[in-house]
Amino acid sequence: MAVEKRDAGVDLARVVGLTAMVAGHVWTEGQPYRLTYTWHMPLFFLLAGWFWRPGRSLSREWVNRLRTLLVPYVAWLVLVAAFFFAYEAPNILYWSKEIVVGGAVARPFSAFWFITALAAVCLLRRGLEVAGLGLPAVTALAAAGWLLSYPFGDRLHDVPESLGTVAYTLVFVVAGEWLRRFTDRLERRLALTAALVLVASGLALAATGVVEPMNLKQGELGTPVAGYLVAVAVSWGLLVLCTALGRVSAEPVRRAVTELAVVALPLVLLHASVILVMGTQRWSTFVVALVVPWAVGLVLVRSPLAPLLVGTAPAAPERPADRRVAVTRE
């Protein structure tokens, strides 16, 4: 099992993004929808670029994504499908087809698209790198894909296993790569000031309806160009602010945040089942949809089922002299 010390600040950004994802699925209209759908999914694609590691082979990238994303995806798909058929007893033939091809967007499968979409865009990015394309060339391709996706987004999201989303999600991955290079050279106080301004202004534009939210799952890309810029600005700003908070937080807080970030997959793939049972537009649903999947994940990551359902090796017992969370490298 590979072990690495994680950045609690980046993990805090992940936790904030995950919380926004659940909120956006509980409150499906109005201000909560606008404020969350403007940036919460773009953040995770941007993070894939933020941590991009040049030099891997395409086969190694496939093995990594298979182990950390696709195996848990299939395992949870089977478990959630069993619950779904038992709970609602829908048309089994229709829904079996929808579930297998990854086209089911209704609860409890509404977040499953993200896992195959993330794996696919990372494999595409690696393939372009292996083919010899540098970051500027990949950026040009990603920008073209994003712009050309506007009139075809509703068709691209219907491609089996969300593979069509690579046309408009690669642009967030390359943004993460550029922003990591830029941020590393930026003076900390200036970065924090810029982050505060960008997050505040971006959320204000979303709240007032000046910039329409984007629903990447459905291929709805929001306000042309401006929507993308706001999504990247808010995502980057939150990442910078959370990183700063992570540096000054107490060790128990950093450790708790990292443990929640490590078990993100159970939250992503289970929370919609809670919403299906409890209903939308309720604070009680929001709380339970966060607490129960995260609690399940914290139990699973310490069990032999961790590779199958969390995408990590089982967490080793913590030693006082070495307070690190055992996780599989991304």
* pLDDT single digits (tens) 97-131: 888 888 677 899 999 999 999 999 999 999 999 99
Query: What is the Cα–Cα distance from 220 to 165, expressed in whole angstroms?
Result: 11
* Region 292-320 average pLDDT: 87
Average pLDDT, the chain: 91
In the predicted structure, residue 1 carries a pLDDT above the cut 60: no
Q: For the chain, which residues make up each domain, given as ranges?
A: 8-249
| pLDDT for the residue 328 | 34
DSSP letter for 165, please.
G
pLDDT in tens, 155-186: 888 899 999 999 999 999 999 999 999 998 99
Query: What is the Cα–Cα distance from 25 to 31, expressed in whole angstroms?
Result: 13
Query: What is the Cα–Cα distance from 326 to 4, expressed in whole angstroms?
Result: 7
* pTM score, whole prediction: 0.92
Which tokens sit at 229?
């810029």
pLDDT confidence bin for 256, thresholds 50/70/90:
very high
Q: Are 330 and 11 in contact (CB under 8 A)?
A: no
Going by C-alpha positions, the residue among 3, 21, 19 that lies closest to residue 242 is 19
**Phi, psi for 314 (deg, rounded to 5):** -55, 135
| pLDDT for the residue 322 | 44
Cα distances (Å, whole numbers) of residue 3 to 21, 193, 258, 313, 322: 28, 34, 13, 10, 11
Express as a percent the part of the chain with pLDDT over 90: 81
DSSP letter for 89, please.
-
Q: How many CB atoms lie within 10 A of CB 320?
A: 5
| pLDDT for the residue 316 | 63
Query: What is the Cα–Cα distance from 38 to 58, expressed in whole angstroms?
Result: 32
Query: What is the Cα–Cα distance from 219 to 223, expressed in whole angstroms?
Result: 12
In the predicted structure, residue 321 carries a pLDDT above the cut 70: no
Express as a percent the part of the chain with pLDDT over 70: 93
| pLDDT for the residue 313 | 82
Cα distances (Å, whole numbers) of residue 160 to 96, 157, 285: 13, 8, 30
Which residues is 88 bridged to in the sheet?
A: none
* Region 78-82 average pLDDT: 94
| pLDDT for the residue 319 | 52
